[in-house]
Amino acid sequence: MVDMEARLKPMRARAFGLLGMGLLLTGPWLGYSTTIVAVVAAVAGSAIFAIVEKRTSSTSRPELWIFSSWFVSLGIIATLAAAAGGVNGPAMAWFAVPVSTLSARFPLRAVVIGLVVALLVMVGVALGTDAGATAENPSLLIAPVFLVIAIAVLSLASMRSDVQHRAGAFVDPLTGCLNRAALENRLQELTQQSAINRAPVGLIVGDIDHFKLINDAHGHTAGDAVLVDVAYALRKQMRAYDSVYRIGGEEFLIVLPGSDLAKTIAVAELLLRAVEDAPMGARIPITMSFGVSASIQGGVFEYGPLYDEADQALYEAKRSGRNRVCFSSLLNARAA
């Protein structure tokens, strides 16, 4: 979603520029006051988009701010449509512009919600500009409404194709966890966010204990079943903005935005118990060892050193008996 928002940003500016050019060219017929309205709306919209962009890069819930930017786009279109004559003007079909971008960023439920909101705004613009003309000739509203609905339906096809291709690129097919490619994208986002908000980021590296013995004793099919069950047990404990990545055969990485060392250790202890107590389909007792690290509040997130610390702590957990959570002496000193 964040990636698509960044890709849409320059395209959105160009699209609004083209709409403004269209209003300018129709000035002799509609009046040049509509162009003035378009300029004012564009300036106000740019200021709001800048605020939304800043908040998107610094919050743990970027989807809320991205959805709010879509509402800003819808508001600009509604203003332009009303200024161009509303239901009697040529711009009612322009509501298809924000609707066409919904499926590029949001799941189906959000697309439906956005479409319904856009249709309600269209009705409001039509009735607000000339309720009498709308009642006398409903086709003035019906035609653009169904055009917008058709655009939404067509855009869903590209959305589903995009979701499938992205899933193949970023999701581990066995466990359903995110993979290393997805991790690289997320680390770029976290690094940018950390430079702005200086919030801590916690890392947990987990490894299934004695996994090679499980494969040797029960076969790789049983080993795959264990991986699936462990991944499910880990993901069940995550908040909406936490992420679980499978980064090796039996090794998982959990990224916790906004979590300092104490909170990250607490989550790791929770994961330890969740895996140990989870019913495994392969009916094999499973435990995991975890290594923990976290950046400090006010510091800058640097993945490489933090991962090395968590990996070192994982090694210590394995060496000292497994089925435990450890963090390195370096983290002890830094936490103090």
Phi, psi of 32 (to 5 degrees): -80, -5
Report yes or no: 61 and 68 within 8 Å, Cβ to Cβ: no
Strand 288-294 relative to strand 251-257, pairing: unpaired
* Per-position DSSP letters for 191-212, written without gaps between them: HHHHHHH---EEEEEEEETTHH
CA distance 189 to 183: 10
Closest CA to 72 of 95, 48, 50: 48
Catalytic site residues?
250
CA distance 132 to 127: 8
Helix/strand/coil for 248: coil
State the residue for tokens 């880990």. 234
Report yes or no: 163 and 148 within 8 Å, Cβ to Cβ: no
Helix/strand/coil for 224: helix
State the residue for tokens 């400090």. 296
Instruction: Tell me whether residue 315 is exposed, middle or buried, using C-beta atoms within 10 angstroms of its C-beta: 0 to 12, 13 to 18, 19 or more.
Output: middle
Please tell me what DSSP assigns to residue 171: B
Phi, psi of 219 (to 5 degrees): 95, 160
